């Protein structure tokens, strides 16, 4: 066999100690440009909640909610915004993104990571234009669907691009450029909302239309970026792949890393149905992580706070300007806390950040629930002192998410798959993330109305479960080369019992798929 004896779903031997190279300006620049794709995701998260709290927008598209908000209503403070149509405005994007992420997998694999990035940028650009010019609800929802397609393609391709371009010892920090761009997109959207809320009655159009700016940056960046060496080699362009690898590592001595990529690509090209292959027992650990990591990331409740921050704060008695100001503050905290994760993830490791962040989030959710349970109700609004305390605690919650589950919910799944199932695995990760994002976005206002302050205890329970999950089942991936990640699972106390014995691996190597590798 070319390149020696293969272990299924990965390379056969550890060559990481032979890798050479340095962090080059070229690779950092490429990762920064690619990470701009995260800003379109973040901008939409931030912009949706602010726009849905603006009176001119509600009066035009959701008059029932407008009347409940501004005129005397018998509804509870927790229920003023409970409207399925309003929820659909936010959630329709993520349902479209879920479908698009699955369609993006073959595009990413056959035509490259750059192709998916460009497709995502163009779709998002069209959606932003439609939303800004919407004259009815149908046009508004169509624009949201196109935004979702853009997010599905971008979220599928950008984390893969970052993981494959980054050197192993800095993969975590560079990969988190995606999350940093997401948080900066959220902060920017909150600032835009704070300014456009004063531009009545057309300010909401400017908020939605400015989504075209990060979409344009993503499209142009995708056209200018080089393709990853892994992708080039997988598509048969070995010499070009080696040239790109030498360029991003800053040395011609890339033989060991290149051999790992060639081995992985030959096995990847022998796999005709990656989605079927990913269900095999040997890929079970990665599949479990691809499902549970993005699911738990959303079940922290973070998107509920980010989507509906202005709505949530107004429900608690904050004025319109005060609620938008509070959401600006949470956006700033999220962006700055992501820098903490970038600085520490490749030093402290993934597990320490995930577990520490989980504990902090649990405490914050319980504190908010207790304050609202004791001091807030149908006929009571929070006092100024307790309002400030709630904002502080929510900021601490957002900070914990920003340096733990926010970036790592994307980083870990993007770095654990072998090349032959990497695009399929990333599609599953994005699809699960968007599925639960859709579910929470569509149901949060109803849950808030039904559970009241108990909604925060609901999310605290899920954070407890996911923190225990990481402690028990996630091995430390810090510093492990992406093409040798398969060897990590065989050393884990639990997953080594799940994966097939080495003898069965040898049998798999003699399967028809593996026979394609023989020279």
Q: What is the mean pLDDT of the chain?
A: 82
Q: What is the torsional sign of CA 319, 325, 328, 330?
A: negative
Q: Quick check: 512 pLDDT over 50?
A: no
Q: Quick check: 468 pLDDT over 80?
A: yes
pLDDT grade for 189, boundaries at 50, 70 and 90: confident
Q: Is the pTM of this model over 0.75?
A: no
Q: Quick check: 405 pLDDT over 90?
A: yes
Range from 91-100, 175-184, 220-229, 340-349 carrying the lowest mean pLDDT = 175-184
DSSP 8-class letter at 377:
B
Res 139: pLDDT: 92
What is the CA angle 69-74-80, rounded to 5?
Answer: 35
Residue 305 or 366, more confident:
366
What SS3 state is found at 90?
A: helix
What string of H, E and C letters represents the secondary structure of 431-446? HHHHHHHHHHHHHHHH
Q: Is the Cβ–Cβ distance between 124 and 215 less than 8 Å? A: yes
State the total domains in the chain: 1
Res 514: pLDDT: 41
In a domain, 374, yes or no: yes
Rounded mean pLDDT, 321-328: 68
Structure tokens that stand for 499 in this block: 């994966």
pLDDT grade for 6, boundaries at 50, 70 and 90: very low
Rounded mean pLDDT, 131-154: 92
> Any bridge partners for residue 7, and if so which?
10
In a domain, 290, yes or no: yes
Residue 380 or 6, more confident:
380
In a domain, 7, yes or no: no
pLDDT, one tens digit per residue, over 87-132 is 888 888 888 988 888 888 888 888 888 899 999 999 999 999 999 9
Q: Is the Cβ–Cβ distance between 418 and 156 less than 8 Å? A: no
Q: Is the Cβ–Cβ distance between 74 and 126 less than 8 Å? A: no
Give the distance from CA 123 to its chain's centroid. Answer: 18
What are phi and psi for residue 380, nearest 5 degrees?
A: -130, 140
Rounded mean pLDDT, 465-477: 95
In a domain, 322, yes or no: yes
How far apart CA 208 and CA 211 sit, in angstroms, is: 6
User: Quick one: which of 287, 302, 296, 303 has its CA closest to 426?
Assistant: 287
Q: Quick check: 353 pLDDT over 50?
A: yes
In a domain, 242, yes or no: yes
Res 42: pLDDT: 84
Structure tokens that stand for 437 in this block: 């994002």
Res 511: pLDDT: 44
User: Quick one: which of 451, 340, 458 has its CA closest to 406?
Assistant: 340
Structure tokens that stand for 330 in this block: 């949470």
How far apart CA 77 and CA 93 sit, in angstroms, is: 27
Rounded mean pLDDT, 165-169: 79
Rounded mean pLDDT, 176-202: 85
Tokens 């002192």 locate to 385
Which residues span the domain enclosing 386?
A: 20-515
Give me the percent of the chain exceeding a pLDDT of 70. 86
In a domain, 5, yes or no: no
Q: What is the torsional sign of CA 282, 175, 467, 438?
A: negative
Q: Is the Cβ–Cβ distance between 482 and 164 less than 8 Å? A: yes
Res 157: pLDDT: 87
Q: Quick check: 199 pLDDT over 90?
A: no
CATH number of the domain bearing residue 98:
1.20.1250.20
In a domain, 11, yes or no: no
Rounded mean pLDDT, 265-294: 84
Q: Quick check: 287 pLDDT over 70?
A: yes
269 burial type by CB count under 10 A (0-12 exposed, 13-18 middle, 19+ buried): middle
Q: Quick check: 18 pLDDT over 70?
A: no
In a domain, 420, yes or no: yes
pLDDT, one tens digit per residue, over 420-466 is 788 788 888 988 988 998 888 888 878 878 888 888 899 999 999 99
């Amino acid at each position: 066999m070319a390149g020696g004896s293969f272990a299924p779903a990965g390379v056969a031997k550890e060559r990481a100690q032979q890798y050479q190279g340095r962090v080059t300006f070229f690779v950092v620049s490429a990762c920064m440009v690619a990470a701009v794709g995260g800003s379109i995701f973040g901008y939409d998260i931030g912009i949706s909640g602010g726009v849905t709290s603006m009176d001119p927008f509600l009066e035009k598209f959701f008059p029932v909610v407008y009347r409940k908000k501004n005129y005397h209503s018998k509804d509870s403070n927790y229920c003023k915004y409970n409207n399925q149509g309003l929820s659909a405005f936010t959630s329709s994007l993520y349902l479209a993104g879920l479908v698009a992420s699955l369609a993006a997998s073959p595009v990413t694999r056959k035509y490259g990571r750059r192709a998916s990035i460009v497709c995502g940028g163009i779709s998002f650009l069209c959606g932003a234009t439609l939303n800004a010019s919407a004259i009815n609800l149908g046009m508004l929802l169509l624009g949201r669907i196109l935004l979702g397609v853009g997010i599905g393609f971008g979220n599928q391709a950008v984390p893969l691009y970052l993981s494959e371009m980054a050197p192993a010892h800095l993969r975590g920090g560079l990969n988190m450029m995606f999350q940093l761009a997401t948080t900066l997109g959220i902060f920017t959207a909150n600032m835009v909302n704070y300014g456009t809320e004063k531009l009545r009655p057309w300010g909401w159009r400017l908020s939605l239309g400015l989504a075209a700016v990060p979409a344009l940056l993503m499209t142009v960046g995708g056209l200018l970026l080089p393709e990853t060496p892994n992708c080039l080699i997988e598509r048969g362009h070995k010499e070009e792949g080696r040239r790109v690898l030498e360029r991003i590592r800053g040395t011609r001595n890339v033989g060991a890393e290149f051999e790992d990529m060639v081995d992985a690509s030959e096995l990847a090209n022998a796999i005709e149905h990656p989605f079927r292959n990913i269900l095999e027992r040997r890929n079970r650990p990665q599949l479990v992580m691809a499902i549970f990591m993005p699911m738990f990331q959303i079940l922290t409740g973070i998107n509920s706070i980010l989507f509906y921050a202005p709505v949530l704060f107004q429900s608690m008695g904050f004025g319109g300007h005060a609620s938008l100001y509070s959401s600006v503050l949470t956006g700033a905290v999220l962006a700055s806390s992501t820098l903490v994760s970038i600085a520490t993830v490749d030093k402290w490791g993934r597990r320490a950040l995930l577990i520490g962040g989980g504990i902090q989030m649990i405490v914050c959710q319980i504190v908010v629930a207790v304050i609202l349970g004791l001091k807030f109700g149908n006929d009571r609004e929070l006092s100024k002192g307790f309002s400030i305390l709630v904002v502080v605690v929510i900021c601490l919650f957002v900070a914990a998410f920003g340096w733990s589950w926010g970036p790592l919910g994307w980083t870990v799944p993007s770095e654990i798959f072998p090349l032959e199932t990497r695009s399929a695995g990333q599609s599953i990760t994005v699809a699960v993330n968007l599925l639960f994002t859709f579910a929470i976005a569509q149901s949060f206002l109803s849950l808030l109305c039904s559970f009241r302050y108990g909604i925060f205890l609901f999310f605290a329970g899920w954070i407890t479960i996911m923190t225990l999950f990481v402690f028990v089942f996630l091995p430390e991936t810090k510093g492990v080369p992406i093409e040798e990640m398969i060897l990590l699972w065989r050393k884990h106390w639990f997953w080594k019992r799940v994966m097939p014995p080495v003898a069965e691996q040898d049998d798999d190597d003699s399967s028809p798929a593996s026979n394609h590798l023989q020279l």
